[in-house]
Structure 1
Amino acid sequence: MADGGRGVRGSSVAVLCLLLLVALTGCGGGTDTAALRADVQRVLDRRAAALLDRDATGYAATGTRTGFDRVAEVPLAGWTYRVTGVRRTGSAVTADVDLRYRLTGYDAGALGARRTVRLARADGTWRVTADRPAPKAPRQPWDQGTVQVVRGAHSLVLGVGRTDAALRAYAGLADRAVPAVTAAWDGDWPRRVVVIVPRSLAAMAELLGSPASSYQGIAAVTTGETGAAGDAPADRIVVNPEAYGLLGTVGKQVVLTHETTHVATRAHTGAATPLWLSEGYADWVGYRGTGRAPAQVAPELARAVAEGRVPDALPADDDFRFTGDADELARAYEGGWTACRLIAEEWGEDRLDAFYRAVGAHGRRDGAVADAMRRVLGTTPEEFTLRWQDHLRTEFS
């Protein structure tokens, strides 16, 4: 009996020791992970500082210098890494990292990008061996090659695999777009744009994190958060060089002016803003002053009206989705353009701007257009639609 008691006590002591060991090991593991994360953070802090200082030697001391060479021409006002997680396998580490960077003279706030950074340990030091986009995260221009930079009077053009002459042509178009937008839009905006010109449609899609089929036939898009203002990063106009290259001189200018309009109106474009207004307004600014006749600007809508197919209502948001029917999509954009043109001609350009702001300032989609039409234009959506339909018949019948 006594021996059995000693056996029980011995087992209890053994279990207690085992539990203590597990607890200590757990704490040790957590401490090791925290220490590893801190080590990786220090390496990336040195790497970021060297990049901003244009210190090639200091950057190379932290690992591969491929990234340094690829952004050598990019004007950077900020570049920071924040390690959010680490996983160690032997002498290698994989880190989840949030990169935030700012372009000098263009970004009041930092643009974010999720990255996966791999490091290897040699001679007691961690060094970066690879820095790539995180799974499912969009690529950045320097992930696709060395970034070429052209500075315009009102623009910064970043290109990969493009000639200097081609990028200067984009800068020239953007520099003409900025004053054209300023002449139309009476709101405050930075009056400068960032244009990114990748190698191809596929490369454009990588930058936007979507399938290439989403942008087939679309010459350019503008990225950015609607309603963003203050310290938000500048919007990026991302060009589809394949579709853009098919346009004539006027078409290229219209596209850049259209996208620049989205940059200018971003802070006043919100969830309450219908696409017929945001896209129609951007087209109205784009074609303003070109001298193009309505039937030239809106050929698909003109054809439909001439055939007796006057739209029953202003374009819905779903009409702006590319579903394979290019004519239907064209009619949606043309419908928005004609509606905004009608407001500018009948109520005045100042009222058009005020209407745009009033809709965007509404807290929700329901009632936004009706409320803005009543307060700014003195009409109702039903009355406006009838007036718009009559306008289409007059223009295109």
Structure 2
Amino acid sequence: MPPVRRAAAPLALCVLAAGCAAAPAPDTADPAVRTAVAAWSRQPSARPPGLPLAQWTYEVTGVRRDGARATATAELRYRIDGYDTAPAGSAREIRLSLSGGRWTVTGDTPAPGAPPQPWDQGPLDVVRGAHALVLRAGRGGPDPADVAADADRAVPAVAAAWPRPWAGRIVVLVPPTQEAMAALLGRPAAAYTGMAAVTTGSTGGAPAPADRIVVNPAAYAQLSAAGRNVVLTHEATHAATRPATTDRTPLWLSEGLADWAAYRGTGTAPADAAPALARAVRRGDLPAGLPADRDFAFGTDADALARAYEGAWLACRLIADRWGDATLVRLYERAGREPLDTALREELGLDGTALVRAWRERLRTELAAAP
């Protein structure tokens, strides 16, 4: 999800007669520095206090010395005990100083251009719930105990909607500000305005060690208890369905199923959960087709983005109502590994065109007359 960020480096010409000094040459084989980093990484002071860790190691990839100072580039590999199935990674820059013939680590920060980790954003509060581990950085966001309670209600709702094996546990990150949230995700802060949370992770059945729910403290604080439950259930559904989600999975199905799981059993009326789409339908602006992947892009018009999510939810709700919850789950699994039309024909007995026709009719029925 985060974009590739490239920095253009200016070309500097150094004329020896002008007295330019050569930059320190990289030293990629300094065993003393590597040994110092390895020894430091094993000390409790090198690790975030309170974070339950099954692994915490630094692989030094390069060393640059400048007299009695050195900077090591390294890849941090860490695994949260009981939550991560494989190590997560973080590019780091470690500063050291030489004194009495020994190297000592004096600082550890994200590598240039790399996103920070939660503990880089301030003191870390760690709260463990029955189904969730909440990490709040900087103490500027919602109470982590409250977030853990919200997550503990969301996870069983996901398990009821998605009856497939999954961890049944989630890690929730609570940064201090929306800007800090954006920094964790490597995106502009404006991209998350109005979004209460997002989920990160890999797809296609690959290990998802960093499958994290990242809360936007500004938007999350404005939600009711019911709203927080919907948000965290939606995001936890993404974590649960990650092994079945691939590049083939259309976003209307991925986002729609997450909302279907979130609203399932709440008795929420379609017009209440889909106000933007209801307004469009009432003014005669019935969508021509299911939302395209581009309709879910960050930074799009807020009302258009809302209509995309709402339309996706109502499509999945239609499938579950007419063909059953189990059919929706099977369709999701098959859509990640084979052409969508094949999955639709074999699971629903119709093609994409017929599904759109049924969906549009459902929108007319449920939204056109809504107050």
What TM-score comes out, normalization by structure 2 length? 0.89
Q: Which residue of 1 aligns with 2:32?
A: 39
User: Are the aligned partners of 1:108 and 1:234 in contact in 2 as well (CA < 8 Å)?
Assistant: no
Alignment of 1:96 onto 2:82: no
Q: Secondary structure at the match of 2:70?
A: strand
Alignment of 1:256 onto 2:232: yes
CA distance in 2, matches of 1:128, 1:319: 47
Q: Which residue of 1 aligns with 2:283?
A: 307
Which is worse superposed, 108-117 or 162-171? 162-171
Q: Which residue of 2 aligns with 1:237?
A: 213
User: Are the aligned partners of 2:141 and 2:177 in contact in 1 as well (CA < 8 Å)?
Assistant: no
Q: Which residue of 1 aligns with 2:241?
A: 265
Seen in structure 2, the aligned counterparts of structure 1 residues 394 and 34 have a Cα distance that, compared at 3 Å, is closer
Alignment of 1:246 onto 2:217: no
- Give the C-alpha shift of residue 33 in structure 1: 3.6
- Give the C-alpha shift of residue 121 in structure 1: 0.6
Match of 1:150 among 115, 127, 133: 127
Alignment of 1:383 onto 2:359: no
Structure 1 gap segments, 5+ residues each: 1-28, 52-64, 363-367
Match of 1:337 among 309, 313, 319: 313
Q: Which residue of 2 aligns with 1:369?
A: 340
Task: Indicate the RMSD between aligned Cα atoms, in angstroms.
Answer: 1.8
Match of 1:317 among 293, 299, 302: 293
CA distance in 1, matches of 2:71, 2:37: 13
User: Are the aligned partners of 2:190 and 2:299 in contact in 1 as well (CA < 8 Å)?
Assistant: no
Q: Which residue of 2 aligns with 1:275?
A: 251
- Give the C-alpha shift of residue 332 in structure 1: 0.2
Alignment of 1:326 onto 2:302: yes
Alignment of 1:80 onto 2:57: yes
Alignment of 1:349 onto 2:351: no
Write out per-residue CA displacement over residues 77-122 of structure 1, whole angstroms, 9 at most, x where no aligned residue.
1001011111111111111100000001001100000011111110
- Give the C-alpha shift of residue 162 in structure 1: 2.9
- Give the C-alpha shift of residue 48 in structure 1: 2.0
Residue type matched to 2:354 in 1? E
User: Are the aligned partners of 1:227 and 1:269 in contact in 2 as well (CA < 8 Å)?
Assistant: yes
CA distance in 1, matches of 2:162, 2:240: 8
Write out per-residue CA displacement over residues 349-381 of structure 1, whole angstroms, 9 at most, x where no aligned residue.
00000000000123xxxxx21111012111100
Q: Which residue of 1 aligns with 2:192?
A: 215
- Give the C-alpha shift of residue 228 in structure 1: 3.8
- Give the C-alpha shift of residue 290 in structure 1: 1.4
Residue type matched to 1:395 in 2? E
Write out per-residue CA displacement over residues 376-395 of structure 1, whole angstroms, 9 at most, x where no aligned residue.
11110011111111111111
User: Are the aligned partners of 1:101 and 1:112 in contact in 2 as well (CA < 8 Å)?
Assistant: yes
User: Are the aligned partners of 2:123 and 2:139 in contact in 1 as well (CA < 8 Å)?
Assistant: no
Q: Which residue of 2 aligns with 1:289?
A: 265
CA distance in 2, matches of 1:247, 1:206: 23
CA distance in 2, matches of 1:137, 1:161: 19
Q: Secondary structure at the match of 1:41?
A: helix
Runs of 4+ in 1 over 4 A off after TM superposition: none
Residue type matched to 1:393 in 2? R
Seen in structure 2, the aligned counterparts of structure 1 residues 35 and 319 have a Cα distance that, compared at 3 Å, is closer
Seen in structure 2, the aligned counterparts of structure 1 residues 165 and 336 have a Cα distance that, compared at 3 Å, is closer
Residue type matched to 2:285 in 1? R
CA distance in 2, matches of 1:209, 1:173: 26
CA distance in 1, matches of 2:205, 2:330: 18
CA distance in 2, matches of 1:385, 1:361: 21
The share of aligned pairs that are identical, in percent, is 53
CA distance in 1, matches of 2:348, 2:301: 34
Alignment of 1:126 onto 2:97: no
Residue type matched to 2:32 in 1? D
Judging by fraction of residues, say which structure has more helix: 1
Match of 1:394 among 346, 362, 365: 365
What TM-score comes out, normalization by structure 1 length? 0.84
Q: How does 1:165-184 map to 2 (within 5 A)?
A: 166-184=143-161
- Give the C-alpha shift of residue 135 in structure 1: 0.9
